[in-house]
Amino acid sequence: MKKLFAVVTVFLLACSLPLSAAAADKQRFSDVPSSKHFAEAVNELAARNIIGGYPDGTFKPGNSITRGQAAAIIAKMIKLDTTSVKIPGFTDVSSSHGFYKAIAAMAEKGIIGGYPDGSYKPNEPINRKNMASILVKAFDLPRDAATNHPFKDPSGITNDVLIIYKLGITTGTTPTTFSPNAFITRGQAAKMLKATEEVDTKHVVTLDAEDFGWNKLEASHADTLNTDVFTAVLVKGKEGYTKDKIQLIPLKEGKGSLIVSGVTSKEFAPIEYIKYYVHVEEVNGELKLTLKETDEFLPTVVKIWSFEKEIQNISLSTMDGKKLSDSVELLPCGIYETCFEIDKAGQYIATIRYKEGDEVRYGVEAKAMNDSFYYTIRTLPEKTSAVYDENEKFDIGQHKIITKNHEQIATVTRDPGTNTFRATGKKEGYVEMEFEHITNQGTICDGIGGYCQTDHVTGLTVSVEQLGSIMYVSMFSKVLPDH
């Protein structure tokens, strides 16, 4: 599995920017005094033949760079193979264009894109926002964008802008503006190029779909355990060109968790999941992130509705009666809730004892799911029988149970001469009953002139839910609305 980004060593020999012989001699350009913020970058890159000046000894740092030139420069910097490229499909970039191969290679890698009208506009100056986008994709920079920034520009502050800002590749044009749509100058480009190649990405771990035997990555979830230890970013590739990947960026020492999901190339293949513990430790002054695959689950909170009653204690046993705890540790919880933890999959019986002296049993199921570090919890209070009392003023007539083999699900009786029904559960299921007469229960409206609905009761339903040996029985009207 590929663990780390390669550190890209950047060289750009004769490119679209004109070079002078004096540039190789490390001369300082007459129009780039040392007081300029980009002077160091310009002079160093010129000495390395990455950029050059003009024959008159100037650099012209205020001149702009075209979109085609930017593509050619970056393609050489990251050493893209331009010998055999796919036709990019831009309406204004023919195979005879001077930057055709560079533009095609960059487009094929999903690093650059065109305009909605199908053009690329290679001869137009590139703006600061688009340069940020190219740098992020070309150098595969960590996609950890700044959440706090000083820029007040009304638009154009993209994630790519915030990524290079956070990495220190560039600042704004003023303390409060980035000017994303302003054309980038040669001086700004030099400083950004030098700063980009100096970004240390050795600490970043990259995961590709192939690392898991998958054809496509679906998602990554790092929001379970100690979410401030690292950041996981799913980087979506360009459809049909580049593949998805996940970047893991360590933030501080500690232990976190990660769930990665993806699919194979098989038709109708199900989504697969892999869980990891993520360990971040400081080694020689740098954060190092490692992964350990796991099938473990974390202790999971069980919530029990306690309403307004004060609980004395909760005992826990297995469904077959084996006592696990006479008094589980209660956790802080929401209003009218009582919480405790389950650390193993299975079915349990939680017996709640109230200070008033009464008890109620709950069935608890902790189910292991491969897409989570926590169990899926289901609770069911014990209630083995129920009573349904239709208002005696309504003439429901005779009743008829229409469910086949209903006696296997519940015993249902009717008190003689009344509309009162009683049910005792036997096993999980539903028992449906119809009344001889449909009764009008009245009309309810949402305010004056609002929506109105008249409910007609046609029968009743007996519901029997079961969790292990715990059973919950309820009865409710079958209603036919009349608008």
- Amino acid 19: pLDDT: 37
The answer to whether residue 239 scores a pLDDT higher than 90 is no
pTM score, whole prediction: 0.74
Report d(CA 30, CA 20) in Å as an integer: 13
pLDDT digits (tens, 9 = 90+) for 22-51: 433 354 699 999 989 899 989 988 887 777
- Amino acid 120: pLDDT: 97
The answer to whether residue 258 scores a pLDDT higher than 70 is yes
Please give the mean pLDDT across all residues of the chain: 88
- Amino acid 444: pLDDT: 67
Tokens standing for residue 69: 């030139």
The answer to whether residue 17 scores a pLDDT higher than 80 is no
Alpha helices in 254-375 (DSSP H): none
Q: Residue range 100-115: average pLDDT?
A: 94
pLDDT digits (tens, 9 = 90+) for 62-75: 999 999 989 988 89
Cα torsion angle, 385, 386, 392, 397, sign: negative
- Amino acid 9: pLDDT: 25
Q: Residue range 470-474: average pLDDT?
A: 98
Q: Judge contact between 58 and 122, C-beta under 8 A.
A: no
Q: Residue range 339-349: average pLDDT?
A: 97
**In 284-358, where do the E strands start and end?**
286-294, 300-305, 311-318, 323-325, 337-342, 346-354
What domains can you pick out in the chain, each with its CATH number? 21-197 (no CATH), 205-294 (no CATH), 300-381 (2.60.40), 385-482 (no CATH)
Report d(CA 206, CA 3) in Å as an integer: 6
